[in-house]
Amino acid sequence: MGLYHYTPVWAGAICDPLPAGGEVTRLDLYPTPARDGVPLAGAGPSVRVRPEVYRFDVPDTVPPGRYWTVATFTPAQGVPAVVDRSRHVDLPLDTGLAASPEAVADLLGTPLPLTPAQRERYAESIADAQADVAGYLGRPLVPRRLVLTDVTPAWGMPLDDPSAWPTGHLDDFVTVLTYAAQPDGRYRVDVLVGLDAAQEAPIRRYVAAHAAESLRNRPADGEDSTGRRVSSVSAEGQSISYEAAPATGQAGALPGLESLSGFRKLTYRPITSSPTAPWPYSSGRYGRR
């Protein structure tokens, strides 16, 4: 099954139904933006992954492509159910790619649905852009699963809080997937360790934008019109002028790699010795080296 992460929005603000006595109950998928008729597939109820984020298990039987969602949730106890019709999802999920071929097609103006050949070509371009990001950040963009056994949570901490468990990864992203109590009172905990780029909007935007630009600057192969932007064509088609890409900082410019610097992994270096006060406040003429 694919894992779809959903953040409820109610009355113009992000809400977290479960602590308030509500719940996120249902996710239905429709093949058209009208969202009418019988849904193609559904999932529910959800599982609260972390504050404000809920996970649905989407069936693998749904064919690849874009689907428009209808999410149903109760914001709080005693409040009527709310229906959210504002989002869509591109399947399959959990492919290891930070962006979907459909997202690249949107930037290129390619009509949906995509052909298998288009989907494969777009996925390859996404993987290339993703490799550039991984090289810049110095870390993989796909988290790894870690199983903790016979562990005890920190006293007073919520069990879905990564800080409650001895993961040994204080300088990395950690998400608690599941936890289960054992007969002896200890726990078995499944966590994800590392950056999950598919859940980070700045990385998704960068990867999709650069994958689309890479395809746009390749000669069109006849399947779709992904050639460069043409500004003018001379008489009788003897020469073609192409538009220059907007400079960094201008409207419509591609995001730069430096915009992702906040996702770099922190590096901790232990201090090998305590600093020595300078002379004449120290015991020696020169400080230790």
What's the rounded Cα separation, in Å, for the pair 273 and 239?
68
Indicate if 100 and 211 belong to the same structural domain: yes
pLDDT at residue 288 in the model:
45
187-225 confidence digits (pLDDT tens): 999 999 999 999 999 999 999 999 999 998 876 554 444
Give the pTM.
0.78
Per-residue pLDDT of 63-76, as tens digits, reads 999 999 999 999 99
Alpha carbon of 124 to those of 83, 102, 282, 288: distances in Å?
36, 13, 62, 55
Q: Check whether residue 83 and residue 15 sit in a common domain.
A: yes
Which pLDDT score, from 0 to 100, does residue 220 have? 55
**Domain annotation covers residue 21:** yes
Whether the CB-CB separation of 149 and 109 falls below 8 Å is answered with no
Q: How many residues does the chain have?
A: 289
Query: Do 82 and 117 form a contact (C-beta atoms < 8 A)?
Result: no
Mean pLDDT is lowest, of 33-42, 76-85, 215-224, for 215-224
What is the average pLDDT score of the chain? 85
Quick one: tokens of 113?
Answer: 């649905």
- Asked if residue 232 belongs to a domain, the reply is no
Domain range enclosing 81: 1-94
Same domain, 109 and 190: no
Mean pLDDT calculated for residue range 79-92: 95
Least confident of 143-147, 197-201, 234-238: 234-238
Q: Tell me how far apart the alpha carbons of residues 25 and 45 are, in angstroms, rounded to a whole number.
A: 4
Domains contained in the chain, number: 3
Same domain, 85 and 131: no
